[in-house]
Structure formats: structure tokens, C-alpha cells
Amino acid sequence: MNDRKTLDERQQMTDLERLRHSCAHIMATAILRIWPDAQFAYGPPVENGFYYDFDMPHRITPEDFEKIEAEMRKIAKDNQKFERRVLTRADAQAMAASGRLGGLTERPGNPSRFKLDLIDKIPEGEEISCFQNGDFIDLCAGPHVGYTSKCKNVKLMSVSASFYLGDESKGQLQRLYGTAFESKELLEEHLHRLEEAKKRDHRRLGREMGLFHIDEMVGQGLVLWKPKGALVRRALQEFITAELDKQGYSQVFTPHIGKLDLYRTSGHFPYYQESQYPAIAERDVLEKLADEDASCATLINGLSDGTYEGYLLKPMNCPHHIRIFASDHHSYRDLPVRLAEFGTVYRWEQSGELGGMTRVRGFTQDDAHLFCTPEQVAAEVTGCLDLVKKVLSTLGMNDDRVRLSLRDPASDKYVGSAENWDKAEASLREAVQTLGCEYTEEIGEAAFYGPKIDFVVKDVIGRDWQLGTVQVDYNLPVRFGLSYVGADNQPHIPVMIHRAPFGSMERFTGLLIEHFEGKFPTWLAPEQVRVLPISEKTLDTAEAATAKLADAGVRVTIDRSPDKIGAKIRTARLERVPYMLVIGAREAEDGTVSVRHRDHDDLGAKPLAEFISNITAEIRSRSL
């Protein structure tokens, strides 16, 4: 059994896991009161709750949950004691054979078949024990809470199919999931968060709002940005670009593929092959090998060992940027060189892991590589942290923290001198401290080529999102033979900093969709204003207003449908358009518009010019 906990691991179960596992016993008790023949297999605590796998003819559906929960509440109210008993192997086997283990009574003709198998899997010499609450006796090493009354804040969540210990050949079981907390408040908070998360799910909102599409015909994990999603991304990229310009970055563009030799030099190939799309062989190599009737193995081995040349869809932007840096001579006076690109990279993720914009196979990093002297590392890292702070606070995400990954001084797996590491680690720590945000230091978590900072933000409903990183790198400049001329007129090796603080545009946009529940602030909204003529009679005035808004740079559309005004407002709100401008006969006559905001209802009539000046100021200041 691969997920069977050792006795040691069981002793380390947290109080909450203990509570949740105890709830699994109570759930089994409740199920048996309704379906006495159920055969229970395995019921561990898991992240956010617990489950129990079992087999019985009745297929549990969510309609059964209330009935089962009602029994569970009774058992909690009865305040049964969880009693542990040590069994000899023979006793345990006899109890299982009689159907008593994982049952409320002996069940002649219905032996506890999974428990029999589990007993066989307990190593010789390990204590075998059972736990009893009320009539229910289960084979279990524990630990448990003392009494069932602790388990009253519980909720059944979902049911799915499973296999006994993950083995498909052993037939299908039912897996019923539940969650439990120490208090009613904590349970309710958790359920509320789940509800919110469902409401905010970027996959659903992305579809409803027409932001992006993932198309089977294009490929799994390959995001198609639809026009509205592309507008959000553009606004975001323009914002980040403006900040990079202020900080002295230079923007570059590089191709989506590169020669295998490039990645052999960087070390990305042939290592990490399992996380890359396979290499692309050159045409004449393929033709030659085809003529020779060669095998795939010949091709793959030849590409890996460099006999044949080929290309790789780029898994990283760094090598391209390095070659840009290397294409010029540099003096210490030119440093730092900061090359930025919204660079698209490709990674091979297992298909089971893909979903929406957060796990993808092609994504665009807000990437940059800084080439600097060792003395400049601290200032560059500080600049990068400032940028992150600015962007996150503009988006209303003020709950962020960083993880500082340092080397393990006892290990010898790191490249670069101890002196440089000390300096880099000190400057990263200093930069983080100056920023004044919460941080943790993780010894031994640094990459072999340098220390790094990872960003984590909390969204409005309290979930952590891992963003991107800042990494110091002593390795690639050496591998690529980079140098600059120092003040001493001698060649020196620059330090390289990789930074993609928001990770990828896909993931970051997914986060923003959920954070705002699709209600983007005006500056980010794909459609900022919708003009709603009340009838045909005011259509011309509405068209003229639309043209004026577009002229002022506002993203505006007009609803020309024959719908009643109430329906038009409803549609616009559903599509989360920040402003609706209603134009009826009176407004047409006065040269005004009736302004409605998706969140604040009626803002009254305003001259069109005044509205335009307000909204353009709001967009320019990127207010929330």
C-alpha cells in the first residue's frame, strides 16, 4: 500500500488530521446504520478533509448526504468513546472473517474482505489494533480523538469512484469525501471560501466573459487569448512595460525556438527532457535516417548526444538573452544591462495536471535578465521588489510575502565562490528587509547556481498564489563565457539575475480573474463603457457619444439591440462592464448621459464631456 502511513507518521498526525480521521470512522458507522452490508477499505485524512473507500450495491449520490450526515450528528451527540484495543494477528483475522471489522455486528457470509487484505499487509512484529466507537469496530492504528462529540462540525463534500489501494484490477469502490473542523465558525468559513472559489473560478468566468479558450484541436494546455482577454493582457503588459521603462530596462524580442547546441551550453538539454516538448530534428537528418531505415532510438540518441543537430521549442528565455548580451563588448560602465521580454516558453506538463490558465504547456513569462557586477546585485534585487510592490498594490493585493531560498553551507553542490554567495544572500536578505514585507528563509532551498526569492500573494478570499521569482545566477555566465571589462581593465564575469516576478501572463491573469471575480477595475476591463440608447429615437445621439468616447481612448461599445433598457442594463452588468451610459430623450436633448456603475447603481445624469474627463482620469491613474 503506497499511502499507508507508518506508525511514525501516524504519531505526527496533527490534531486536525486526528479529528478528520475520527470523522471517517463516524461516517462509516453512519453508512452501516443505513446500509449494513457495506465493506470498508481505507479511510485516511487528506488535505482539507477525509475520505473512506467502500464497496456496496447502493451507489451513493449527493441526495444521500443529508441522511448520512443526520446519522453522523446523532453519533456525535451520543458522545461515544473511541476505544483502542490491541489484537493478535489471529484475533484480527477471525474478526475480519466474521465480518466484524469495519462493521456494526458480525456479518455471517460477508467477511471484511478488504480488512483481511490490510491485515496481511501489516508487517510481522508491528502491533495490530482496532478502534471501537459504539458498535463500530475498525482495524486501525489510530490515532483518534477521545470522543465522538469532538466531531460535530462535519460536512460531506463529494463522492467519486476509486480503486482499492489505487489498483484498477481489484474492482471499483466508492469514495466519499467529507471535511471537518474544530469549530462551527471554521467549518462555515471553509465552506464559504469554497463557494467563493467556485463563483470565481477563472475557467468558468473566462468562458462566460469570452476571455480565453482552450481548444482540443489546438492542443491541451495551449491558451487562446480571445479579443477581450487579449485586451486585459495588453493593459497589464502596458502597465508593466511602463514601469520597466522607468527602471531602465530594454525590451527585446526573441524567437520561440533555438538550436539544441544553445541548450546544451545552457544545460537545459538533454537534461530536463521530460519537462520539454521533444526536440525538432533538422530536415536533412530526418531524410538521411529515413533512407537508412534507422530507428527512433537512433534519432533520439543522436539528438541527445549531439551527433545530429536539431531545435528545441524554448523552455526558457535566458539563453537567447545571454546571446544578445554576448553580441556586444561591455565595460563595467555599461552595467547593469537589463533585457526584458514577454517571452513565450513551452513546457511539457502531464495532461492530467492541465486546467485553465494556471497549468499550461505554453506560457508567456514577464521575463528579464540583468547582467551586473557583484556589487550591483543588491540594488537590482531591490528594484525588482519595488516593481512587484507597485504592481501588486495597484491591483489591490496587499497581502504578499516572499520566500528567501538560501544555500546549505554544509553541501558542496553549489557553483560560484562562497564569498559571492555570502554577498548575494546578504543582499537578497537586505532587499527583502527594506521592503518590509513578511518573509521566511529556507536553508538548502537555493538552486545550485544561486539564491532566490519567490513571491506568494493572498487573493481576496485568502488563498495563496505562488507567483514568480528573482534568482541570482553564477552558473550561466560561466557556461557561456560572458565577460565585461572592469575598472582594472581586466575581464570579469558578470552576475546574472533572472526575474519573472509575476510568473506568467496566463497564470497571473487567471489569478486576477478570480481575485476580481471578473469585475476588473476600469483600466483593466476589456470593455470599459457600454452605451445604451433607450430606443431607436436616441440611437444617433448614442452613436455620436460612442464615437467621442472611442476618440478619447475609452474601450466602448454600443447596445443596438431592440431590448428594453432594463434588459440592456442587466446584460451589461452580467458581462461586468464597469460603466453603462443610458441615453433617452431627455439626455439627448440636454447633451447628458445617465451614468450607471456595475457596483454602485445610478450615478445620475452628467454632461458627456464631464463623464469622459472623469473616466479618462480614472483609467490613467489605474484606480481600483
CB of residue 496 to Zn ion, shortest distance in Å: 8
Binding piece for Zn ion, criterion CB under 5 A, among 193-201, 391-399, 494-502, 577-585: 494-502
Which residue among 367, 454, 459, 473 is the active-site one? 367
Query: Helix and strand tally (H, E) in the chain?
Result: 20, 28
Residue 498 falls in the annotated catalytic set: yes
Catalytic residue list contains 190 = no
Closer Cβ to Zn ion, 40 or 308, answer by number: 40
Closer by beta carbon to Zn ion, 31 or else 140:
140
- Closest among 590, 436, 326 to 611, alpha carbons compared: 590
Q: Least distance (Å) from Zn ion to the CB of residue 479? A: 13
Query: Quick check: 453 binds Zn ion (CB under 5 A)?
Result: no
Q: Which is nearer to Zn ion, 101 or 569 (CB)?
A: 101
Question: What is the rounded distance in angstroms from the CA atom of residue 450 to the CA atom of residue 381?
Answer: 13
Which of residues 318, 378, 470, 619 is near Zn ion by CB under 5 A? 318
Q: Judged by CB, which is closer to Zn ion: 117, or 201?
A: 117
Contacts to Zn ion from residues 196-235, by CB under 5 A? none
Binding segment (CB under 5 A) for Zn ion, from list 119-127, 311-319, 392-400, 455-463? 311-319
Check: CB of residue 191 under 8 Å from CB of residue 69: no
Q: Which residues inside 103-142 make contact with Zn ion, applying CB under 5 A? A: 140
Active site residue 537: no
Residue 92 and residue 140 in contact, taking contact as beta carbons nearer than 8 Å: no
Residue with Cβ nearer Zn ion (194 or 252): 252
Q: Does 150 bind Zn ion (CB under 5 A)?
A: no
Residue span binding Zn ion (CB under 5 A) among the ranges 223-231, 237-245, 389-397, 492-500: 492-500
Residues 6+ apart with CB under 8 A from 595: 579, 580, 581, 582, 602, 603, 604, 605, 606, 611
Alpha helix locations (H) across 82-216?
A: 89-97, 113-121, 184-200, 202-208
Q: Is 369 a catalytic residue?
A: yes
Smallest gap, in angstroms, from Cβ of residue 502 to Zn ion? 14
Three-state secondary-structure class, residue 377: helix
Judge whether 347 counts as a catalytic residue.
yes
Tell me the pairing of strands 601-607 and 592-597: antiparallel
CA distances from 477 to 281, 339, 484, 560, 589 (A): 28, 15, 11, 59, 69
* Crossing angle (nearest 10°) for helices 377-394 and 418-435: 30
Please give the Cα distance from 591 to 138 (Å, whole number): 78
Catalytic pick among 452, 530, 555, 576? 452
How does DSSP assign 25-44, residue by residue? HHHHHHHHHH-TT-EEEE--
CB nearer Zn ion, residue 6 or residue 295: 6
Residue 602 Cβ vs Zn ion, minimum distance, rounded to whole Å: 51
Q: Which residues contact 624 (CB under 8 A, 6 or more apart)?
A: 394, 395, 396, 521
Residue of 498, 499, 568, 596 interacting with Zn ion (CB under 5 A): 498
Told to judge if 130 belongs to the known catalytic residues of this protein, a careful annotator would answer no
Active site residues: 318, 347, 365, 367, 369, 452, 498
Binding site for Zn ion (CB under 5 A): 140, 318, 498
